[in-house]
Amino acid sequence: MGCIESSDTIGPPGILHVKKVEDALALFKDRSYLNEGLTSKVYSAVLHHNMELKCVVKVISKTEMGAEKARDSFKTEVQVLSRLNHKNIVKFIGAFEDDKQYIIQQEFLMGGELFDYILDHYDENDEMSFPEQKASRIIKQILSCLAYLKKNNIAHQDIKAENNILRKESNGDEDVEICIIDFGFAQEVVLDRKYDTIAGTMVYLAPEAIRLAASGRTGAQLLAADMWSLGVIVYMMYTGVYPVDCPELEGTNEYQEALMEKLGSIEEIDFSDIDASDDALDFLKQILQIDTSKRLTPEKALAHPWITKAETNTNEIGSKSLNVLKETYREAQISRALRTIYKLLADAQPKIQNIFNSIDKDHDGNITKEELYEFFQKECVQEDLINEKVHSFFKAHDADRNGFIDLKELEDACCDMVISSNEAIVASMFKTLDADHSGRIDLDEMKTVFGEVDAEKMLHL
């Protein structure tokens, strides 16, 4: 496929239709589970015909997202990625679909998220800092990508730290290569046409997304919104917090509405407490401009002294900012993991009830060993293994030791299965909670994230 130019239009992508997505997955070897989102599962794998090519395989459920929304998101991502060619954009490999699912193949990026890189190479005990020089080199790569997208009239619409991934692992000494991922919200735009869509992550949204929600935004304003989102990333590097947020309401039902109201009414960003070089501060002030006509474009940002004079920049982002970033980023990671697990468990709830009812033959609200034995027989479990399975299941999940499994105990068993089958999510959450890298989570670490009362409750679950 040819690379897109600003005068081109995006044509229909090459999507291979298969009878079953499993047929397409059979093309991959050494498939390994990576993580699970609200509507998709992500694996790493290698292609049978090319053992050197390791890739990411994203399987998207049409029913979880809703058929129309899933189709639009899938086709948009494939249409855009299949025609783009930039070193800082994740490489597209292929796409498949059947009646129930979509598959997108992309290159495998090994280096982890941007903020993980910054924080993994910072030691709070030694009060180390992060060089501005490295920060500006990283942002220069993202700007190069945004300039390329702008040239081709493509708005990404979900620029955020989590969508900037290192192509390979780094020991912190050499320069890193950043890749932008997740083009599910991307849109090819006409500069003077109005669009009424609002997409992306709330804390990265530009103010005009809310202010102009009723009238719609022009294509030019959608492109400018990506620059605001990049400004949020830079602001977080220097402060550890989002430029527009309502932290006191986070986790409540009022949070989203309050944040939207604040975004829609804010007149300027507070830069008074930022400890940064003059060039960095000026860059932030110009990129986080409320007025889109005054906001830096990617081209102007690339010509800004904070970018062009990086080699002579000896300033540092201090430990105070990095400590705050660590806490903000930690909470965001845990929130993502908990939302995913909650969604998985919520989806499983009706199925658990149906399974319980099918096993509980006399409908007395309890499963006996005999009823579970019969269930395993119907599931074609080998006869000589059934007694062992029944015994081990009751030993592990009959919490009150009354000789029966009730619905709550079956739900807990299924919860354990969901968590154990999502090891990547749990491992990420553990790593985030284990602030001192001791290999265990203590009460103080739980209090840092969940608060004193909730941490005490969780400790006694």
- In the DSSP assignment, the letter for residue 89 is B
CA distance 245 to 288: 14
**Long-range pairs for 81-87 at CB < 8 Å and ≥24 separation?**
81/106, 81/183, 82/1, 82/13, 82/14, 83/1, 83/2, 83/3, 83/4, 83/8, 83/10, 83/11, 84/3, 84/4, 84/148, 84/149, 84/152, 84/154, 85/3, 85/4, 86/144, 86/145, 86/148, 87/177
In this structure, are residues 243 and 232 in contact, taking their beta carbons and an 8 Å threshold? yes
Distances (CA, A) of 124 to 320, 326, 435: 9, 10, 11
> Which helix (DSSP H) or strand (DSSP E) does residue 236 occupy?
helix 219-239
Tokens of 242: 């989002």
Q: Which tokens hold the place of 406?
A: 């009730």
DSSP 401: -
The single residue of 23, 116, 158, 192 carrying the catalytic annotation is 158
The Cα–Cα gap between 352 and 350 comes to: 5
Q: Which of 71, 106, 138, 181 is nearest to 313 (CA)?
A: 138
Residues making up the chain, counted from first to last: 461
Q: Look at strands 50-61 and 101-107 and give their pairing.
A: antiparallel
Q: What is the four-CA torsion angle of 20, 185, 243, 109, rounded to 10 degrees?
A: 50
The token pair that represents 15 in the structure block = 């999507």
What is the spatial distance between Cα 210 and Cα 260, in angstroms, rounded to a whole number?
Answer: 7
Q: Which residues pair with 166 in a beta bridge?
A: 178
Q: Helix-strand-coil percent breakdown of the chain, rounded to 5?
A: 50, 15, 35
Give residue 427's region: left, alpha or beta (phi > 0; psi -120 to 50): alpha
158 is catalytic: yes
Helices and strands, number each (H, E), in the chain: 18, 14
User: Which residues are bridge partners to 195 per DSSP?
Assistant: 217
Q: Whole-angstrom Cα distance, residue 277 to residue 392?
A: 62
Gap between the Cα atoms of 375 and 390, Å rounded: 10
Question: What residues are labeled active site?
Answer: 158
